Amino acid sequence: MLLSSNGAPGLDAAHIHKVRLHYKSISIKYLQMNHSDCFDAQMFILASSSNMISPLFLGLVLDRFGPRACSVTSVAFSTLGFFLFGTAAMLAPALASSSMTGLSREDLFSLSVAMIGFGGPGVQNAVIHTANLFPSNKGLVTAIITGCFQLSFIIFFVFDQV
C-alpha cells in the first residue's frame, strides 16, 4: 500500500486494477439482465415506493375520519389492485385496442402492484389505532399488534422450507 502526499494510506496500482475489473464485471452483468428481471425490479420499486408514501395520505384519512374509514379506504385500494392484477391478462387486449388508452399488460401489472402497496399500511395504522381502547396498556397493545404484523412474514420462510 502506498502513502498519499498527506501521509494517509493510498491505493496502489494493482488494487486500482482489481477495482476496475470488478466494476466492469458488474456493468456487464447489469447489461445482460433480461426484460423479466428489469420488470420485476420495476414492480418492486413501484410497490415499495407507494408503500412508503401511502401512510402520509392514509394518516390524514385516519385523523380526519377515523380508523373505520382508513381501513375501508385501504382495503378498497388493495382489493382493486388485486382484481386488476388478476384480470390484467384479459383486460390488456381490450384496452390496447381501445382508441383512448394504449395500456399494455405490463402497465396494468405495474398499476395494480402500486395500488396493492398503497393499501397495506392503512390497515396496519387503523389496527394499531385499536390500542386506544386500552389506555392503561396502550404501549403493550401497540407492541403486540406490531409484532404480529412483523411475524406474519414468517409464513414465507415456512413455505420455502416445505
Q: Of 76, 59, 82, 74, which Cα lies nearest the Cα of 129?
A: 59
Q: For the residues 45-61, what does the mean pLDDT come to?
A: 87
pLDDT higher than 60, residue 6 = no
Say which range, 18-27, 108-117, 127-136, has the weakest mean pLDDT. 18-27
Q: Provide the mean pLDDT of the chain.
A: 77
Helices (H), the chain: 13-31, 35-65, 67-97, 105-128, 138-151, 154-161
Q: With the C-alpha atoms ordered 118, 120, 121, 125, is the resulting torsion angle positive or negative?
A: positive
> With contact defined as beta carbons under 8 Å apart, do 74 and 61 qualify?
no
Which pLDDT belongs to residue 83? Answer: 92
Q: Of 85, 63, 61, 84, which Cα lies nearest the Cα of 72?
A: 61
- Report how far residue 72's alpha carbon sits from residue 55's, in angstroms, rounded to the nearest whole number: 14
pLDDT band at residue 64, thresholds of 50, 70 and 90? very high
pLDDT band at residue 28, thresholds of 50, 70 and 90? low
pLDDT band at residue 7, thresholds of 50, 70 and 90? low
pLDDT higher than 90, residue 142 = no
Indicate the DSSP class of residue 162: -
User: Which three cell numbers, joined as nine digits, stand for 150?
Assistant: 412483523
Residue 11 neighbours by CB distance under 10 Å = 13
Q: For the residues 127-153, what does the mean pLDDT come to?
A: 83
SS3 7: coil
pTM of the entire predicted model: 0.62
> With contact defined as beta carbons under 8 Å apart, do 103 and 95 qualify?
yes
